[in-house]
Amino acid sequence: MVEVGYPSAVDSPIPLVIVQGFLGAGGSFLWGAFEDYLNHNVAPDADGNICRRRIIFANVGPVSSLHDRACELYYELTGGTVDYGEEHAKLYGHQRFGRTYPTALYPGWSANKPLHFLGHSMGGPTIVKLQHLLKTGLFGSAATPDMILSLTSVSAPFRGTQLVYALGERADAAPAVRTFSIGGALTRVVHVLSYLSPILPPALDLHSESRHLSFRDVSITAFWKQLWKSDWAESRDATPFDVTFQAADEREANGEGEPNPSTYYRSYVARLMDAPPQRFSIPSLTGYVMTLSSTAMKSFKFQSIYPIPHFLRGNGESPPGIPNSPLLPIHGPFLGIPSKTLIENDGVVPVFSQDHPFECGAAPCTHSICPARQKSGIWSVKYLENANHLSIAPIWRGSAMQIAFWKDVGNWLQDIDHTREEDDVN
């Protein structure tokens, strides 16, 4: 999608950028008719024109790290050649520069002309990372975190998920991946697609050019080596590591995810009820798989993770079987997180991880009961009951839950726009 010729004045209503999750590349085709409900509250102006909120689908690397995705998101909106940063590129052994976007999706994006953002799954932490990079200067002194007016997340793994270990990430030695695992198989698919990328359609674009993995860049021998042990997937610069609890801990220790005072934050948290699927059927295949996955996640042995995640650190007793650990991961009280919250999930991400970065209290937040007028700099957390990771996005079903969700987001964004207009007047 290419948008051209926008004036430098603030658009009204302010556009919404949608950032998709892991493997997400379907865009508006899959997301469907949500715009009708997002704009349910748009009234005609004095001339009788109805001005709907513009949607910008971002196209970032579907298996790339949060850092790489955030850089691609920035340059797609502003135009220009993707610069992953000299230091980052050296550290992770890929090219500093990626593809060039000759046309900006949003010319003049700035603190005075900000954007709304919505991220599903990994899209949520991608926006948090983008805001962190805006704040810490990767994009130059003109870029500021105020360029993100609002951040709405759906089923976002801000603090990691245990599912990544079930899929193949080594719980005791991340980012290593078990060779014979779903994650290991997926890694090989990624390398085959990257190798063939010059001749594949855009829907299979992995944004891997900075890694020089295509048949134009590497020999067949090098390709086979990567299939056996992937330098990309088994690095700290890829999606699998970024959703480990260890990586989330490191981000929080670095201050990443601290709310920006003038940004509005809302997370929609999906949680599945305990009821097992009654009977298998093709139409409910997604729900069936999500419920099975949810059950498996609840039995995950948190004590197998090393280093022990921050949210499990308790009263200083050593748990059995954990070497050199002064911490208490699985018995007794959890620091800041009740055990029920620890095991509740949406089939992909635990509930506590979907809430917001940091523990409640460390991050200013309100849960469930959202005030009529939300303040900026505070996470407003809303729960979607009996919902799974795919209930809202990316596939449009026209369900009552999806319709209610998009109307709610429409109200929320309109409320922020109005608050901003009032502030401008005063």
Judged by the rule CB under 5 A, the positions of this chain that interact with Zn ion are 68, 92, 237, 360, 365
Instruction: Supply the minimum distance, in Å, between the C-beta of residue 210 and Zn ion.
Output: 7
CA angle 230, 233, 234 (to 5 degrees): 75
C-beta of 289 vs 360, nearer to Zn ion = 360
Nearer to Zn ion, 269 or 413 (CB): 269
* Closest distance of CB 143 from Zn ion, Å: 19
CA distances from 274 to 121, 206, 288 (A): 22, 36, 13
- Angle 16-18-24 (CA atoms, 0-180°, nearest 5)? 170
Strands (E), 134-241: 148-154
Q: What's the min distance (Å) between Cβ of 341 and Zn ion?
A: 10
Cβ closest to Zn ion, residue 209 vs residue 237: 237
- Least Å distance, CB 176 to Zn ion, is 18
Whole-number Å distance between alpha carbons of 67 and 386: 32
CB atoms within 10 A of CB 376: 17
Closest CA to 259 of 138, 404, 346, 148: 148
CB 381 to Zn ion: min, Å: 6
Cis, bond preceding 333 (omega within 30 deg of 0): no
Judged by beta carbon, residue 104 or residue 365, the one nearer Zn ion is 365
Measured from the CB atom, the residue of 215 and 383 that comes closer to Zn ion is 383
Residue 116 or residue 129: which is nearer to Zn ion going by CB? 129
Shortest spacing between CB 356 and Zn ion, in angstroms: 6
Report which of 225, 234, 212, 214 is spatially closest to residue 94, judged by C-alpha positions.
Answer: 212
Taking the least distance from each CB to Zn ion, the nearer of 234 and 417 is: 234
Q: Is residue 98 within 8 Å of 71, Cβ to Cβ? A: yes
97-101 vs 80-83, strand pairing mode: antiparallel
Q: How far is the CB of 84 from Zn ion (least distance, A)?
A: 5
271: closest CA among 380, 356, 346?
A: 346
Structure-token match 């190798």, residue found: 195
